[in-house]
A = this chain, B = another copy of it.
């Protein structure tokens, strides 16, 4: 393992804190130093857990564009106000809204008759209440579906499998996710009656992984659902055991498009000593899919962001304003993140980072100003080494919830979380509070507190052009 820390960087990390502190970890005002506050956050937490327990218990699932998402925003607004945030607002935007409907059934017919566990994918068409019946055509991989002639697919239900495995950085999602992102559109273009995919997930529980489909312009959506891994493997085994006999399925999925509805972005601020300086933006998203209370995705992310902001405030009013952004309607296409950028593109952001990959341990620090501001990059990286976070030469590009930072070409940080477990729960009913490990959640809060605190008290330009 190559060390990316230099002695100069280490010295920079521990020298010249923004506020002078005593040997006991307190500042002259009696407030804890940033380092002491971050260390305390790693040991105990009353803020992040309260947020994620609260929103998952008192609101539950928060499907974008529905009254449940609205209750989630109302809950978050109340929580932010109760916790002393200023300039709290719910900034509305309109969205075309899809809901999953109430009937989700995939029944194999004939010799091997049995129900498979399925849930619709976001933007799936409806089969109608009576369902559709068709022969199933099996594609062991997305590439097999792509390569298939339309004649092999037309009028049938395409079944696309694959072998996604857990990866620490989540990179398999981009690769295997194509079966969901693009598979339904490809099958539709080839005339399929419907499509069922092996869930884009890594667990063997009977909880399908939903998620959004991108149907290309001009391609009429078809009914599309995700099978659990046990069900997908069972269906694949049926093809082996059928030895060429056709396998037919009755597929019933009843999602609906309910037209234009209102979503919104919730914001709140810890107002800095110099509000004229571009703020530090801490982002996450407030919506979830209908099938879970969104604990990992992304209640925990908002909890981490909010707790970090509060912790920095506890060390004394920061120089810059810290703004939290709980984006709406992320799951269905980053709509809140896009709307926030459109509404605020002319208000410069100093630096942005987001938490939207669960609540497991942060293991890597990345920025997009390693070259342009090497001292700050090194100081930040060194400051979280004590929490087990490694520096990296990868250039941070941010995630779903900080479109504005990319659109403004401003400073971005990625605090990469361990994603090994993430796709066990992602977009499934299993994304519940019990999946969050309180110790790892606290490590996230500690790292965020440390990083946000340094940045909120940094006087210069974070990412010089």
Identify the A interface with B (CB < 8 A). Answer: 53-54, 56-61, 68, 71, 108, 111-115, 117, 204-207, 229-230, 233-234, 237-238, 241, 292-293, 428-430, 432-435
Contacts and interface: CB of A to CB of B under 8 A. Distances in A.
A238 B114 CA distance: 37
A117 B111 CA distance: 30
A421 B181 CA distance: 35
Contact of A435 (B59, B71, B204, B238): B204
A182 to B, nearest CB: 27
A206 B429 contact: yes
Most central of A108, A204, A230 by chain B CB within 10 Å: A230
A434 B112 contact: no
Most central of A205, A293, A432, A433 by chain B CB within 10 Å: A205
B432 A230 contact: yes
A57 B433 contact: no
A204 B433 CA distance: 10
B206 A61 contact: no
Given A205-B207, A207-B205, A433 B230 contact: yes
Given A204-B435, A229-B434, 16 more contacts: A57-B112, A57-B237, A58-B111, A58-B238, A59-B112, A59-B114, A60-B112, A61-B114, A68-B114, A114-B293, A204-B432, A205-B206, A205-B207, A206-B292, A230-B432, A233-B433
A303 to B, nearest CB: 15
A237 B433 CA distance: 11
A1 B241 CA distance: 48
Given A112-B58, A234-B57, A234-B293, A117 B206 contact: no
A14 to B, nearest CB: 41
A239 to B, nearest CB: 10
A16 to B, nearest CB: 44
Contact of A430 (B114, B205, B293, B435): B205
A234 B433 contact: yes
Contact of A230 (B68, B234, B434): B434
23 contacts: A57-B241, A58-B111, A58-B112, A58-B238, A59-B114, A60-B113, A60-B115, A71-B113, A114-B293, A204-B430, A204-B434, A205-B205, A205-B430, A206-B292, A206-B428, A206-B430, A229-B434, A230-B430, A230-B433, A230-B434, A233-B433, A233-B434, A234-B433
Contacts of A238: 57-58
A60 B114 contact: yes
Contacts of A71: 113
A428 B433 CA distance: 21
A198 B114 CA distance: 27
A174 to B, nearest CB: 25
A427 to B, nearest CB: 13
Contacts of A207: 205-207
Nearest to A108: B60
Nearest to A435: B204
Nearest to A236: B57
A57 B108 CA distance: 11
A410 to B, nearest CB: 38
A426 to B, nearest CB: 14
Contacts of A230: 430, 432-434
Contacts of A60: 108, 112-115, 234
